[in-house]
Structure 1
Amino acid sequence: MITLAELKKLRLIHLCIAITFFTSGLTVNFAQLLLHIFLKPFNKVLFRKLMYYLCYSFYCQLVFVADWYAGCKMRVYMDAEDEKKYAGKEHVLLLMNHKYEIDWLAGWMICDKLGVLGNCKAYAKKAIRYVPCMGWAWWLAEFVFLNRDFDKDKEIIAKQLKVVYSYPDPTWLLLNAEGTRFTPAKHEASVKFAQERGMTPLKHHLIPRSKGFTASIPTVRGICPVIYDINLAFKSDEKVPPTMLSLLNGKGVEPYMLMRRIPIEQVPEGDKEAAEWLQQLFVEKDRIIDSFYETGSFFKNSGIKEVPYKIYEPRLSSLLNFAGWATYSLSCIFYYLITSLLAGNWFGLITALCILGFFYWLMGAAINSTRISKASNYGAKAKASTN
């Protein structure tokens, strides 16, 4: 008899997840579009509250895969008082290391646990908004899309941050200050850049690109009270690689996350001073991650005050949400396939099978795009014009 672990590795199961995810994604995209056309011009507050639930319903399917399907257990280290008083109750600008294939999903996992998943947003490159389902969802949910042309982007940032933080409920906005995911080639270029300019080279991060940060801070002041510094790590001897493919095969991973709440007032005025503050923050982040790799603790060798960790239980809402979408999506697909077969509707049958094949290919393409080996070359070149 096939075991549950073996069942999760079957392509048929992966196809069912893909059908559910992309069918629901297209449905959510259509509902988002209707909100933009018929509600946003008349009631932006209600528009953004409803947008929260649409985004949550879509995003938390991947949280379900991590939490329930793969059984991931994430340890979150955060000051107990900050967690009790503030977590999930205020607007936040997130600064997070960008080294792993699923670091974004680890971020979604904690957003889900703190009740802000539907309002989590990010700075993203403009091309992503044209990607079916996820890109469209982000576009319609008012993410901050950038051209990687600073003269244009600084105007977009100033305008869009006011939109993002006008949401009535707590909103978390992610800024990957490194600009791109960590790879050996990009790290080599980053170290060379730092050495040429008398900066402290980083072992586990890329030198942060300060222009996006310094362009954001003047607008953020007064509308977003804090920065959350997120340090994510997986143990170097982790038997299961932290990838989407591992999760789809039902293999759980154990992320470790240190979250620090930094009041925005601690960031100094002035672009130069703010840029220097960001550089020093990343030097500190590097010590934190280095300590984790060396000792298994964020605190032993970093000089950072030790705080307790908490393992949040999976939320029932993500399980019920996925079950609902799966029932809707799969029942519609299989009903059409069966009725087409019985009626001899070969055109309809072949069309449906082609759509299923496209969904499976789309899932493979999405997984492939998260792989570090497929990361862009952005950041492997000279960084002089971007800091």
Structure 2
Amino acid sequence: MITLQELKKLRLIHLCIAITFFTSGLSVNFLQLLLHICLKPFNKRLFRKLMYYLCYSLYSQLVFMADWYAGCKLRVYMDAEDEKKYAGKEHVLLMMNHKYEIDWLAGWMICEKVGVLGNCKAYAKKAIRYVPCMGWAWWLAEFVFLNRDFDKDKEIIAKQLKIVFSYPDPTWLLLNAEGTRFTPAKHEASVKFAQERGMTPLKHHLIPRTKGFTASLPTLRGICPAIYDINLAFKSDEKVPPTMLSLLNGKSVEPYMLMRRIPLEQVPEGEREAADWLQKLFVEKDRIIDSFHETGSFFEKSGVKEVPYKIHKPRLSSLLNFVGWAIYSLSFIFYYLISSLLTSNWTGLITALSVLGIFYWLMGVAINKTQISKASSYGAQSNKTSAH
């Protein structure tokens, strides 16, 4: 008899997940577009309230994959008073290391636990907004899309941050200050850059690009009260790699996350001073991650104050949301397949099978895009690093 773990490895199950995600994604995109056309011009507040639930409905399917399907346990270390008083109750700029294939998903997991998943946003490459389902969802949800041309991006940042933090409910905005995901080639270029300029080379991070951060500060002040510094790590001897493919096969991974609340007024006013502050923050972040890999603790060798951790239990809402979309998507697809077969509608049958093939292919493409080996070359050359 096949076990549940073996069942999760079957391509048929993976296909069902793909059908559910992409069918629901396109449905959410359509509803988002309707809100933009029919509601946003007349009532932006209600538009953003409803947009929260549409985004949550799409994003939480991936949280379901981690929480319920793979059974991941997220350990979050955060000052208990800060968590009780602030987490999920204020606008936040998130600063997170960008080293793992699923670091973004770990971020979504904590967003889901504190009730802000539908309002989590990010600075993202402009090209992403043209990607069906997720890219379209981000575009319609008013993410901060950048050209990687600072003169243009500075204006976009100032305009878009006012929009993002005018949402009626707490919004968390992610800035990956490293600019790109950590790879050995990019790290080598980053170390060379630091050595040439007398900066502290980082072991577990890339030297942060400060321009986007310092360009954001004038707009952030007064509308965003805090920065949450997130330090994410997986144990280096973990048998299951922290990848989407692992989760799709039902294999559990264990993210460890240290979150520190930093009031925005602690960041210096001047551009150069703020840039130096960010560089020092990343030196500290490097010590934190180094301590974790050497001792299993974020605190033992980092000099950072120790705080307790909490394992957040999965929320029923993500499970019910996925089950609802699965019933809707799969019943529609399989009804069409069976009716086409019974009525000898070969054109319809071939079309449906082709759509299923496209969904499965799209799932493969999406997983492939998350792989570190497939990361962009942005930042891999030392001469590009001069954009800091």
Partners of 1:352 and 1:270 in 2: CA distance:
59
CA deviation after TM superposition for structure 1 residue 270, in Å: 1.1
1:47 is matched with: 47
CA deviation after TM superposition for structure 1 residue 86, in Å: 0.4
CA deviation after TM superposition for structure 1 residue 161, in Å: 0.2
**Letter of the aligned partner of 2:132 in structure 1?**
P
Partners of 1:164 and 1:229 in 2: CA distance:
19
Task: Indicate yes or no: 2:361 matched with 1:361.
Answer: yes
Partners of 2:287 and 2:323 in 1: CA distance:
42
- Where do residues 271-290 of structure 1 align in structure 2 (5 Å cutoff)? 271-290=271-290
Structure 1, gaps ≥5 residues long: none
Can you list the C-alpha shifts for 1:187-244, whole angstroms capped at 9, x where unaligned?
0000000000000000000000000000001100000000000000000100100000
Whether the 8 Å contact between 2:18 and 2:363 is mirrored in structure 1 is: yes
Partners of 2:334 and 2:375 in 1: CA distance:
36
Can you list the C-alpha shifts for 1:231-274, whole angstroms capped at 9, x where unaligned?
00000100100000000000010000000000000000111000
**Letter of the aligned partner of 2:387 in structure 1?**
T
Partners of 1:362 and 1:256 in 2: CA distance:
30
1:346 is matched with: 346
**TM-score normalised by L of structure 2:** 0.99
**Percentage of matched positions with identical amino acids:** 87
Partners of 1:75 and 1:18 in 2: CA distance:
28
1:233 is matched with: 233
Partners of 1:386 and 1:211 in 2: CA distance:
8
Partner-residue secondary structure (3-state), 1:252: coil
Partners of 1:217 and 1:192 in 2: CA distance:
28
**Letter of the aligned partner of 1:72 in structure 2?**
C
2:387 is matched with: 386
Partners of 2:385 and 2:252 in 1: CA distance:
40
Whether the 8 Å contact between 1:291 and 1:300 is mirrored in structure 2 is: yes
1:161 is matched with: 161
Partners of 2:97 and 2:377 in 1: CA distance:
18
2:103 is matched with: 103
Partners of 2:217 and 2:50 in 1: CA distance:
28
1:61 is matched with: 61
2:28 is matched with: 28
Can you list the C-alpha shifts for 1:318-351, whole angstroms capped at 9, x where unaligned?
0000000000000000000000000000000000
Partners of 1:215 and 1:34 in 2: CA distance:
33
Partner-residue secondary structure (3-state), 1:40: coil
CA deviation after TM superposition for structure 1 residue 385, in Å: 3.8
Partners of 1:304 and 1:385 in 2: CA distance:
31
Partners of 2:177 and 2:343 in 1: CA distance:
57
Partners of 1:172 and 1:54 in 2: CA distance:
16
Partners of 1:323 and 1:303 in 2: CA distance:
45
Report runs of 4+ in structure 1 exceeding 4 Å deviation: none
Partners of 1:161 and 1:46 in 2: CA distance:
19
**Letter of the aligned partner of 1:62 in structure 2?**
L
Task: Indicate yes or no: 2:228 matched with 1:199.
Answer: no
**Letter of the aligned partner of 2:325 in structure 1?**
W
Whether the 8 Å contact between 2:193 and 2:386 is mirrored in structure 1 is: no
Partners of 2:103 and 2:237 in 1: CA distance:
18
Partners of 2:176 and 2:70 in 1: CA distance:
26
2:337 is matched with: 337
Alignment length (residue pairs): 387
Can you list the C-alpha shifts for 1:154-196, whole angstroms capped at 9, x where unaligned?
0000000000000000000000000000000000000000000
Structure 2, gaps ≥5 residues long: none
CA deviation after TM superposition for structure 1 residue 386, in Å: 1.3
Partners of 2:387 and 2:268 in 1: CA distance:
21
Partner-residue secondary structure (3-state), 2:387: coil
Partners of 2:387 and 2:193 in 1: CA distance:
11
CA deviation after TM superposition for structure 1 residue 114, in Å: 0.3
**Letter of the aligned partner of 1:137 in structure 2?**
A
Partner-residue secondary structure (3-state), 1:201: coil
